[in-house]
Amino acid sequence: MTEFFQFEADFVESLRCIPMQVRCKLDTCGIKLKLLDWNHMTQLERQNLVELPCSTESEIQAYREYIQELILQRTGTPASELPIESHPAWMDVKTVPTSVNEKAQEISIVITTEQWASLTPLQRFALIKLSRSGHENKNFVPALKEFNLFNKS
């Protein structure tokens, strides 16, 4: 899957930032990747991280091993590990996470359960990431618009 969002368009071609699809794969395989580490990689290595599958247990393990080896080669230090959620919020079609609701309410938007369920897992992942406190949230509204959730009158 190589799905890029419109709100990522300013860096997709150069891959100077970590795209949402790679961030989702990192969370799936339990690796915390710093932007500095990402920037130590070649363009081809970054593209590989975009294109490599990370869905099945064997793919997740292979992705994890690949990125660990890559970071170790590039920085001399293993990548930090994260706990892997057995039921990640972006896979739950029945519950809009509190962080997403609160961020949407700041701009008078209500995301219904039906709207949330109609999103792809990657779209839900993006909204969760873009709504976290301490995260640069400038792409939250562009994401809402791109996902047809910006229903202000």
**pLDDT tens digits, one per residue of 7-16:** 998 887 788 8
pTM of the predicted model over 0.95? no
User: Among positive and negative, which fits the CA dihedral 12, 88, 51, 2?
Assistant: negative
Whether 92 has a pLDDT exceeding 70, the answer reads yes
Tell whether the model's pLDDT for residue 66 goes beyond 80: yes
pLDDT digits (tens, 9 = 90+) for 96-144: 999 999 999 999 999 999 999 999 999 999 999 999 876 667 899 999 9
